[in-house]
Amino acid sequence: MIRSDAARNRAKVLAAAETVLGEQGLTARMDEIARRAGVGVGTVYRHFATKEALYAAIVSARVDLLLDEAARLRVAAEPQTGFFRFFAQVVADAARKKTLTDALHSAGIDVKAEQAGQRAQMREALADLLRDAQRVGAVRPDVDLPEILALLRGASMAAETGDYASPVIDRTLAVLFDGLRPHALHAPPPSA
């Protein structure tokens, strides 16, 4: 077996792991992942030194995809919509993949160097899209990155762990986005 076979195996394992983790959560066994990938456990370990590394790789791959998407949107989309489309994208991805992004965190798995880098990149990408949107008045000027991150994490986690129908997610995001838009009167409701 030559290099390309090895790469193919790596991909199979990654895909199987993503599926199995989505189904069974963090407790999924390495044997099961190997079985689904159609390889032996040994092969899983050849590509990912530990279970934790396998998880990290999955998350990392996903984040890379999202970062690409963010870069693409910044160029291709209007500043008014880029931010919102990216936000929705992340949530949709969470709902689809159910990769337990934060379960990793809650399970006490340490964020390693690479992840820290990605985390920073993600913040930056989001900050860029947010700044663009605020510049053109699509997002109220008084919100800052921390709130955005909290909202994005919350929405993603809910989508990931819940079992919401697509329209519910849409309506939920609609509310969220409305909260982010600028309008005349905030704190005190109209008729109060």
Partner DNA sequence: TATGAATGAGTCTTCATTCAT
Partner DNA sequence: TATGAATGAAGACTCATTCAT
The residues binding DNA (CB under 7 A) are 1-6, 9, 27-31, 38-43, 45-47, 49-52
Q: Give the tokens for residue 154.
A: 């919350």
* Residue 162 interacts with a second copy (CB under 8 A): yes or no: yes
Q: Is 1 or 167 the residue whose CB approaches a second copy more closely?
A: 167
Query: Running DSSP on this structure, what letter comes out for residue 49?
Result: S
112 interface partner picked from DNA, a second copy, none, CB below 5 to 8 A per type: none
Nearer to a second copy, 56 or 100 (CB): 100
Q: How far is CA 27 from the centre of its chain?
A: 20
Residue type at position 116: A
String marking each residue 89-108 x if it binds a second copy according to CB under 8 A:
-----------x-xx-xxxx
What is the size of the binding site for a second copy (CB under 8 A)? 53
Distances (CA, A) of 30 to 14, 20, 50, 55, 136: 12, 10, 10, 11, 49
Binding to a second copy (CB under 8 A) within 164-183 occurs at 164, 168-169, 171-172, 174-183
Helix, strand, coil share of the chain (percent; to 5): 75, 0, 25
Q: Within 13 A of 159's CA, how many CA atoms are on the CB side?
A: 27
115 near 88, Cβ under 8 Å?
Answer: no
Find the shortest distance in angstroms from Cβ 39 to DNA. 3
In angstroms, give the least distance from the CB of 55 to DNA: 10
Give me the least distance between CB of 163 and a second copy, in Å please: 10
Q: Taking the alpha carbons of 126, 142, 152, 74 in that order, is the dihedral positive or negative?
A: negative
Q: Which is nearer to a second copy, 4 or 190 (CB)?
A: 190
**Alpha-carbon span 161 to 146, nearest angstrom:** 22
Residue 183 interacting entry, from a second copy, DNA, none, C-beta within 5 to 8 Å by type: a second copy
Cβ nearer to a second copy, comparing 125 with 138 = 138
